[in-house]
Chains A and B, each alone.
Chain A
Amino acid sequence: MIEINNVHKVFNAGKANQVNAVNGVSLDIKKEEFLVIVGANGSGKTTLLDMVAGSVFPNSGSIAIDGEDVTKLPDYKRSKWIARVFQNPVSGTASDLSIIDNFRLAAIRTQSKGLSIGINDTFKNQVKEKISTLGMGLENKTEQLMGTLSGGQRQALTLLMSVMDNCKVLLLDEPTAALDPRSAEIVMRTADELIKDYRLTSILITHNLKDALKYGNRIILMGEGLIVKDLDTEHKATLKQNDLFDWFG
């Protein structure tokens, strides 16, 4: 589904503060694979994810999604396959817009935003039904501004928004980093359910080793812009938490 072929990314090339973020990563992510990426800060995880999303372009190498070369395609054109959940809840939702407005935009992620009014009663009911599956009691607050919600509520809604429109790839960049343990668990469980229900290909970056162990069917460790370890479903299943701790030792 996603083929990453020997990508390199250097920031501030030739300057004193040059950063070699990703140094030749090749990765073949199969359809419906749920890949977990762990690694220390500065190991190139987020840069790699940004390159898949299209918000950062590689210096060399190529990236293909669903058989199509997307190396030079900007992020807003990759939205026909990709939905994203950001580390910061503010980045994934528009605070000054109502919940229903946010969902409307998500519902037409792969389509053009035309000059007709798309929010009608049918749409409102559809959104309410979706939101009620979260069990957060938000279904009757759809006219409320997104900014009035907590980070956990916003991340959970961002997840739901990602499957409002046809979605093939879900990118999760430390979605629970800013959340309390309870909200974090709800968000991760929702993500896992959506990934299974909608049979999504997904990438999760996390610093939470419990989550890394519990979710996903493949795990890679990154260090200094390279893939250090790569465990498939079988090997990941036998992985113990202590082994994971040792990776960071």
Chain B
Amino acid sequence: MDFYLTALLQGLCFSAIALGIYISMKIFNIPDITTDGSYTLGAVVTAILLTHHQPTYIILPAVVIAGGIAGALTGIIHTKLKINALLAGILVMTALYSVNLSLMGRSNLPLINISSLFTLINISADPNHNTFWILAIFVLIITLLIGYLLKTDFGIAMRATGNSESMIRSLGVNTDRMKIIGLALANALTALSGYLISQFQGFTDISMGIGIVIVGLGSVIIAETMINWLHITSVWLSLVLVIAGAVIFQLVLAVTLDIGVNPNMLKVVTAVFVLLIVSLPRLSLLSRK
């Protein structure tokens, strides 16, 4: 059972990345690959500041700002230099690898016996339950903030930017600026996942971000399938489903490991699983015809 609890906790850690991908991919319609780099960046900043015994109220803003800068860079390259968003993201992600490595000075930084977010508050005696409650509150706060943002006038303008650029420009919105802010926000969220995971697993590793974008994508695609299936238009419900998507994704991986699939094959399973979710709705549509 602990195995599945861990999966649930990991899913909650990854819900920030899922929200980030939801913003870049679904709201702005931009495929953003900066994710792999900004996720590790968040974890690296966390590890360095934690080992220097900095308090949470310094670490958390530092992580958000670091991720935000990474995303803004991708946004600037994409909008101002008119470079394809995918390529802009790959460029920043590649550069971030070196940045992360030189920031850490080594490829791995353990965080054992260092007080973290999860030892900060004691809600329950069981450390796993404690972690769960802290994560739940953390994710709830992020969701409330993002949900509120999307409901504001600024948020509506954000949603319209990815939807009808000609319309929103004629309504007085600088779409370049909007995309830069959007990518900054998405990558700040991604960095938050790095912040949570590094403390959850007790170390930061330079290669922890490789292929992490698929975790976010998979979660968002699960959510999207449910959103379309249930005909949901509410912003709040969509965000809740994105987080549910992140948790379901981790639970499915846990099931695969539980039934004895070779852990080396985990990335293949991940890829096939995402492929299945994407293709299933289309396949069932085909058979109906």
Residues of A within 8 A of B (CB): 53, 55, 74-77, 79-80, 82-84, 86, 90-98, 101-102, 104-106, 108-111, 113-119, 143, 145
Q: Are B173 and A145 in contact (CB under 8 A)?
A: no
Q: Are B233 and A98 in contact (CB under 8 A)?
A: yes
Q: Give Cα A104–Cα B158 distance, bound, in whole angstroms.
A: 13
For the complex of A and B, 8 pairs with smallest distance between CB atoms: A79-B172, A94-B163, A113-B157, A94-B160, A94-B164, A91-B166, A113-B153, A84-B170
Given contacts A76-B175, A98-B233, A113-B157, contact A118 B170 (CB under 8 A): no
Tell me whether B168 is interfacial, beta carbon within 8 Å: yes
Tell me whether B237 is interfacial, beta carbon within 8 Å: no
Shortest CB-to-CB span from B78 to chain A, Å, is: 18
Q: Give Cα A115–Cα B159 distance, bound, in whole angstroms.
A: 14
Given contacts A104-B156, A105-B157, A105-B160, contact A80 B149 (CB under 8 A): no
The 8 Å CB contact of A106, one of B151, B152, B171, B174, is: B171
Return chain A residues, CB-CB under 8 Å to B163: 94-97
Residues of B within 8 A of A (CB): 148-149, 151-154, 156-157, 159-160, 163-164, 166-175, 233
Q: Give Cα A90–Cα B118 distance, bound, in whole angstroms.
A: 48
Q: Give Cα A101–Cα B163 distance, bound, in whole angstroms.
A: 12
Return chain B residues, CB-CB under 8 Å to A98: 233
Q: Are A115 and B154 in contact (CB under 8 A)?
A: yes
The 8 Å CB contact of A109, one of B151, B171, B174, B175, is: B171
Q: Are B159 and A96 in contact (CB under 8 A)?
A: yes
Q: Are A97 and B160 in contact (CB under 8 A)?
A: yes
Return chain A residues, CB-CB under 8 Å to B159: 94, 96-97, 101
Instruction: State the main secondary structure of chain A at its contact with B.
Output: loop
Q: Are A77 and B172 in contact (CB under 8 A)?
A: yes
Q: Are A113 and B170 in contact (CB under 8 A)?
A: no
Q: Give Cα A167–Cα B233 distance, bound, in whole angstroms.
A: 31
The 8 Å CB contact of B169, one of A55, A113, A114, is: A55
Q: Are A94 and B168 in contact (CB under 8 A)?
A: yes
Return chain A residues, CB-CB under 8 Å to B166: 55, 86, 91-92
Told that A55-B166, A74-B174, A94-B160 touch, could you supply 4 new A-B pairs with CB distance under 8 A?
Answer: A94-B159, A104-B156, A105-B168, A111-B172
The 8 Å CB contact of A104, one of B153, B170, B172, is: B153
Q: Are B170 and A105 in contact (CB under 8 A)?
A: no
Return chain A residues, CB-CB under 8 Å to B174: 74, 76
Q: Give Cα A84–Cα B166 distance, bound, in whole angstroms.
A: 10
The 8 Å CB contact of A117, one of B151, B157, B160, B168, is: B151
Shortest CB-to-CB span from A188 to chain B, Å, is: 20
Q: Give Cα A117–Cα B235 distance, bound, in whole angstroms.
A: 14
Return chain B residues, CB-CB under 8 Å to A102: 160
Return chain A residues, CB-CB under 8 Å to B172: 76-77, 79-80, 108-111
Return chain A residues, CB-CB under 8 Å to B157: 105, 113
Return chain B residues, CB-CB under 8 Å to A53: 170
The 8 Å CB contact of B170, one of A75, A90, A95, A97, is: A75
Return chain A residues, CB-CB under 8 Å to B164: 90-95
Shortest CB-to-CB span from B5 to chain A, Å, is: 37
Q: Give Cα A34–Cα B159 distance, bound, in whole angstroms.
A: 34
Q: Give Cα A233–Cα B202 distance, bound, in whole angstroms.
A: 79
Q: Give Cα A96–Cα B153 distance, bound, in whole angstroms.
A: 16
Return chain A residues, CB-CB under 8 Å to B175: 76
Residue of B152, B159, B164, B233 ringed by the most chain A CB atoms within 10 A = B164
Given contacts A117-B151, A118-B152, contact A79 B160 (CB under 8 A): no
Q: Give Cα A135–Cα B157 distance, bound, in whole angstroms.
A: 28
Q: Give Cα A91–Cα B157 distance, bound, in whole angstroms.
A: 15
Q: Give Cα A174–Cα B61 distance, bound, in whole angstroms.
A: 50
Return chain B residues, CB-CB under 8 Å to A113: 152-154, 156-157, 173
Chain B residue nearest to A144 (CB atoms) is B233
Given contacts A96-B159, A105-B160, contact A114 B154 (CB under 8 A): yes
Given contacts A105-B156, A105-B160, A117-B152, contact A145 B233 (CB under 8 A): yes
Q: Give Cα A117–Cα B160 distance, bound, in whole angstroms.
A: 16
Q: Are A105 and B171 in contact (CB under 8 A)?
A: yes
Q: Give Cα A74–Cα B172 distance, bound, in whole angstroms.
A: 10
Shortest CB-to-CB span from A174 to chain B, Å, is: 14
Q: Give Cα A55–Cα B148 distance, bound, in whole angstroms.
A: 32
Q: Are B167 and A91 in contact (CB under 8 A)?
A: yes
